[in-house]
Amino acid sequence: MQNAFTFLLSAVLDLYLIAVFLRLLLGWVRADYRNPLSQFVVKVTNPLVIPARRFIPAAGGLDLATVVVLLGLQLVATALLVQIACGGAGFGQIAVLGLMRLVSLVLNLYFWLLIVYVISSWISPGGYNPALAVLATIVEPLLAPLRRILPPIAGFDLSPILAFLAIGFLQRLLPGGPALSGLLCAAF
């Protein structure tokens, strides 16, 4: 029963962390905030980001309040999951595990965004959909430098393959499985 509860809690927290990360990313790539998907992300994350903005100003085009909320929320989520599964751990261990979980979450998010982006380019090339427009705004900054390394060949854009290889390589550098889920209690 504890595993099911931990899974559910982890999934809900990760979904909200994805929303906060998307808010940060949408600001970074200067996405269209009139888009319904962008509005959804902003409205879902406003309860935590707006109060943080009162105390934490933006710096150099980076929304530091959202970064602080993202990191703080990840640390709280990791501490909560470790507390439930293991009975607690030190702050340093939770901080390292939290950062690893956040990196893993971002890599998984980009993996799935790329999958959707590639499949949508096959199904509806040149078509317009508000969600796909935001998706393109998020994914294109990742693919543009890769297109300089591997330009399109005979009309085929192979840059997503390089992106998948890079994501897979980075994912394999991180510890996986239970350790990344915050459930490896023997380490604590």
Note down pLDDT in tens along the chain; length 188 residues. 567 788 888 889 999 999 999 998 888 888 888 888 888 999 999 999 889 888 888 787 788 888 889 999 999 998 888 888 777 677 888 888 889 999 999 999 999 999 999 998 888 777 777 888 888 889 999 999 999 988 888 888 889 999 999 999 998 888 865 555 544 554 44
Residue 63's CB is within 10 A of a number of other CB atoms, namely 21
Residue 60 structural domain: 2-187
What is the 8-class DSSP label of residue 187?
G
Q: What is the pTM of this model?
A: 0.84
